[in-house]
Amino acid sequence: MTHDSAASQHSASNAILDDDAFTPSPDSALWRRDFLLGAATASYQIEGAATEDGRLPSIWDTFSATPGKVLAGDTGAVACDHYHRWSGDLDLLKDLNFEAYRFSIAWPRVMDASGRPNPKGIAFYKRLLERLKEQGIQTFATLYHWDLPQHLEDRGGWLNRDTAYRFADYADLMSRELTGLVDAWMTLNEPWCSAYLGYGNGHHAPGLSNPRYPTQAMHHLLLGHGLATQVLRANDAKSAKGIVANVGRGTPNSQTPADITAARRFEVQHNAWILDPLLKGEYPAELFELWPGTEPLVLDGDMETIAAPLDFLGINYYFRTNVKSDGAHGYTEVPLPGVERTQMGWEVYPDGLRDLLVGFHDAYDNLPPIYITENGMASDDSVQDGEVVDAQRIAFLKRHLAAVDAAIKKGVDVRGYFVWSLLDNFEWAFGYERRFGVVHVDYDTQKRTKKRSAELIARFIAERNARDGG
């Protein structure tokens, strides 16, 4: 988005910026005190300190240092310098009245290449969690948000079955070290991205591109999830255990049978590929009609391990994709003209979140409680006269929260919502150009500035708490 378009959006959206911008209807589930409202971040995107205190290289250090892989040659070497500024960032969380914080632990920061613990790295997360507990903020810790240690990738990464067992070792160490400090553990963030973008089309680290790789990488990711869940339950019984899946809404470009099939197969590839093994103990057969000949090697007992019961399911949602048949097994994206889009080029489509949640509720008898663990948008935000008026984000969040409420009214058990993200940060292959935060970060000075969206969220949470007696 250009500054001119942002200004015109500001003018067109003045009505959004009134005092009740985040005031839901009186019967909305968002008024319930047991509906958590939180913010989310990820280690490589905010921490920096890439070589300090024994941290080892990750696949994203390697990938972002490779010319042409990340926009403008950006890397996460400094990012938001959260490793040094964490205390102030947690004060921001508290000031904004967020009730929960979802963050990730950097695997390369807490273990050496032989699997021995790194005390300095572990101490960082202990300090973080202890402060959050002091502040009364619920803690949601993600074990894997894409920063695989490079030494494991050198041995095959997620294409190597052994990585699933090394992940379980990592989960074992962290759950023993941090027992009692974590309210909810999430094993993996968005295994679809790790498997497909990392090993299928090469858009993400480690940057491999082979049509046979993603399904095997996914199987080892999910096996790692299942193995890690076992040790988390053994070591930290009181915490909740779950996983985070990014999901996509696919809609047909026409009502022809071929396009309807194409849209269904889009959702099989983006949703059922992950959710079916977790909740049904099997991969969807239609996936291998879409990608013939790519069945992963599955050993006896694997699917039972993967399908271990979940305490909750994290759902990340951003946009929908309109598709048509490619004339063969799959689909082709057909961008719709005249729709609202974010700085990422993604269509703003709140109904997709409602439709997916209701669809999962209908499709899976054993669907666990859900948290929306990421939802948000990128815009070209800048500080003007000491303020950041992010009108499009305010409207985006308001409409997506309404979509969550609509799904709850249809019987879906949604327990909370995390805004992505607390801070502007390193947006993977797009570097620092795309700003997702409700807090603006000046990357030259590291100054944080609360955006208008953050102030309105804080006001709503305060109002909700006041209604319920504080």
Q: Which sequence spans correspond to the domains of the chain?
A: 3-467
Note the pLDDT of residue 447.
98
Specify the DSSP element, H or E, that contains 141.
strand 138-144
Is 374 marked active-site?
yes
CATH for 3-467 (3.30.9.100, 1.10.490.10, 3.20.20.80, 3.40.50.12280): 3.20.20.80
- Encoded tokens for 470: 């504080």
Is 99 marked active-site?
no
Note the pLDDT of residue 139.
99
Q: Which of 419, 415, 408 is nearest to 460 (CA)?
A: 419
Note the pLDDT of residue 329.
87
Which residues, in sequence order, are bridge partners of residue 420?
Answer: 40
Binding-site residue numbers are 45, 145, 189, 318, 420, 427-428
Residue 233: other Cβ atoms inside 10 A:
16
Question: Which pTM was predicted?
Answer: 0.95
Note the pLDDT of residue 21.
64
Tens-digit pLDDT profile for residues 345-362: 999 999 999 999 999 999
CA dist 191 and 142 (Å) reads: 12
- Which residues of the chain fall short of a pLDDT of 70? 1-21, 468-470
Note the pLDDT of residue 25.
84
- Encoded tokens for 425: 């940060």
From the list 153, 286, 374, 455, the catalytic residue is 374
Note the pLDDT of residue 19.
46
Tens-digit pLDDT profile for residues 114-173: 999 999 999 999 999 999 999 999 999 999 999 999 999 999 999 999 999 999 999 999
Note the pLDDT of residue 469.
65
Binding-site residue numbers for substrate are 45, 145, 189, 318, 420, 427-428
- Encoded tokens for 289: 């009609």
From the list 47, 99, 153, 190, the catalytic residue is 190
SS3 286: helix
